[in-house]
A and B are shown apart, each in its own frame.
Chain A
Amino acid sequence: MKILVAVKRVIDYNVQIRVKEDGSGVNTDNVKMSTNPPDDNAIEEAVKLKESGKAKEIVVVTVGEEKAQETVRKALAVGADRGIHVKSDSYIEPLGVAKILKKIVEKEKPDLVFLGKQAIDDDCNQTGQMLAALLSWPQGTFASKIEHKNKVIEVTREVDEGLETIEINLPAIITCDLRLNEPRFASLPNIMKAKKKPIEQLNAKDLGVDILNRIQQLKVEEPPKRKGGIKVASVAELVSKLKNEAKVI
């Protein structure tokens, strides 16, 4: 089995982001960047399948600027075999990314594509489902457990009501939840080895797909600030305030 894993480079989840004063976006200069957290789960799951002998090859792909290669390199350091970097200097919407990934899938012919369930920058939660649609493949979204059984894969999905289990035919798209597994860290020797693994570079605009953005970002703004309140000295004071001041209990 061959697995393709799609990863995205985003502002690190621990960074307090800053909205640019002119409303044109969020400041990314000199800001720590990392792999989108659920994408780490996607890589980990692929590596586990390889370790268990079920997968033969893991190809990792990203779409983004020059530095997005670091994200591919990191995936190579934890066990992916080779990388593909589709270069684009500007933001591409999930629909455009899905079209690019479809091209890569047609070329690489994986049995499974893993993605994170959502990117923590634009919070769109679309790319995996869109890719599945464009390929007419089934989708196992928000996966917290997967079990590979011959020609199908059983996916336990995290849904609002609890958990849902579905069985989907291969080839399939799986978008990974944070609870799917515990991503490993790369060891230093593996980081060194990853430097020798190949990364193919392509240009997004050379792939012959329509990646024109359809959504204009008119203005990015700070959310209304919430004022901090007061500290209370005791539980009795707290209950009294809730009852008599806030009147919520």
Chain B
Amino acid sequence: MSILLIAEHDNSNLKVFTLNAITAASKIDNEVHVLVAGSKCENVAKEVAAISLVKKVLYSDSESYENFLAENLTPLIVKLSESHSHIIASANTFGKNLMPRVAALLDVSQISDVIKINSSDEFLRPIYAGNAFVNVKSNDKKKCITIRPTSFDPAPASGGSAQIKKVEAVEAPTISKFIKREETKSERPELGTARIVISGGRGMQSGDNFKLINSIADKLNAAVGASRAAVDAGYIGNDHQVGQTGKVVVPDLYIAVGISGAIQHLAGMKESKVIVAINKDGEAPIFSIADYGLEADLFEALPQFLDELNKLNTIQK
């Protein structure tokens, strides 16, 4: 039994959530093999080889893998999967796009968004936006699994010296073409891994008002999140969305501002260690899960919040 884990990277660096998936994979079997497929991505292969839990790196370099199109990566993964019992990726947009394509060709029923490994064939996963958990047992010979990264700790990035094995690229169909990627550049920590997240909802009333959130985020070195309502209203980009169909975050501190607490939003943040809610509607459902609730007009509370933070001698970073 061995595991084929699909690394997510940008051809220069490994995406951090791959480390969380590696931890999850190692709970199934020690023999964790990581596929690094991309273009001119040898540095990523070396980075992965240094991860102590990784036993082997499969490195495949081809222009057709440059933009990680699922159509192009799938034939390679399907071929490599012959000698592995489990195929694993992170349950972010990379893994969600890719893994079902692989699973279908292997005639395997995929297990999505696993939050706990019970054994090599039994897993726990959330359904209904995390309002229920289901224990499942896969009867497929091979398992195709996506891992919810925030449910597992990242594997230590050093201490290993795995063998790097070059793998020939497999011919890809020419049915899809990458055009462009528009990434939001930010000086702030990444939403998925930030220690503190402050999110705004429909109550923010405009995109411009997010500057109130931003100034507190800067003070706390926090990432900025948003509810679906705020994203739909165009206040802020989709990459900030926290919730069932957005990102799942588990920070030490989550501050929800002007967010009522729809089921879909709670699904993305309710595992946070400490939750603060600031909302002028005292009946808002967000208060039922908040450790500290402040019933107040956010346009008064946020500037005060910043003032109070400025008064503190030290702030944890």
Contact = CB atoms under 8 A, between A and B. Distances in A.
A125 B92 contact: no
A228 B109 CA distance: 38
Q: Which of A216, A219, A235 has the most CB of B within 10 A?
A: A235
Contacts of A226: 270, 275, 289
A160 B128 contact: no
Interface string B52-68: 00000000000000000
A17 B132 contact: yes
B305 A160 contact: no
Given A223-B133, A228-B287, A249-B309, A169 B176 contact: yes
Interface of B: 69-71, 74, 92-94, 96-105, 107-113, 122, 126-140, 173, 175-184, 192, 196, 220, 228, 231-232, 237-239, 244-245, 247, 252-253, 263-264, 270, 273-276, 282, 287-296, 301, 304-305, 307-309, 312, 315-316
A138 interface: yes
A215 B96 contact: no
Interface stretch (A58-66, A105-113, A237-245): A237-245
A41 B304 CA distance: 41
Given A95-B110, A158-B93, A235-B308, A246 B274 contact: yes
Q: Which of B98, B102, B292 has the most CB of A within 10 A?
A: B292
A71 to B, nearest CB: 18
17 contacts: A93-B109, A142-B93, A154-B179, A158-B93, A164-B178, A165-B180, A166-B177, A167-B179, A168-B175, A168-B177, A177-B245, A178-B232, A179-B231, A218-B137, A228-B287, A236-B304, A242-B274
Contacts of B135: 217-221
A139 B97 contact: yes
B239 A220 contact: no
State the 8 A-B residue pairs at the shortest beta-carbon distance, nearest first. Answer: A229-B291, A129-B100, A130-B104, A214-B109, A133-B104, A126-B100, A235-B304, A239-B308
A120 B244 contact: yes
A121 B107 CA distance: 23
B121 to A, nearest CB: 10
Q: Which of B101, B105, B133 has the most CB of A within 10 A?
A: B101
A9 interface: no
A24 to B, nearest CB: 11
A161 B239 contact: yes
B245 A178 contact: yes
Interface string A41-64: 000000000000000000000000
B294 A238 contact: yes
A18 B308 CA distance: 42
Nearest to B300: A235
A142 B97 contact: yes
At the interface, is chain B mostly helix, strand, loop or mixed? mixed
Contacts of B173: 136
Contact of B136 (A178, A218, A236): A218
A35 interface: no
Given A139-B176, A235-B305, A241-B292, 10 more contacts: A16-B263, A26-B132, A133-B100, A141-B97, A158-B238, A222-B133, A232-B294, A234-B294, A239-B312, A248-B253
A201 interface: no
A16 B131 contact: yes
A157 B179 CA distance: 11
Q: Which of B93, B94, B220, B282 has the most CB of A within 10 A?
A: B93
A231 B282 CA distance: 10
A177 B228 CA distance: 12
Given A219-B134, A235-B304, A249-B309, A123 B100 contact: no
Given A123-B127, A139-B70, A232-B293, A160 B274 contact: no
B139 A215 contact: yes
Contacts of A69: none
A219 B231 CA distance: 35
Contacts of A127: 100
B176 A221 contact: no
Contacts of A157: 93, 97
A68 B11 CA distance: 45
B70 A129 contact: yes
A123 B252 CA distance: 26
Interface in A159-193: 159-169, 172, 177-179
A229 B113 CA distance: 29
Given A165-B180, A235-B308, A248 B128 contact: no
Contact of B293 (A164, A179, A229): A229
A165 B104 contact: no
Contacts of A26: 127-128, 132
Given A165-B179, A215-B138, A13 B264 contact: yes
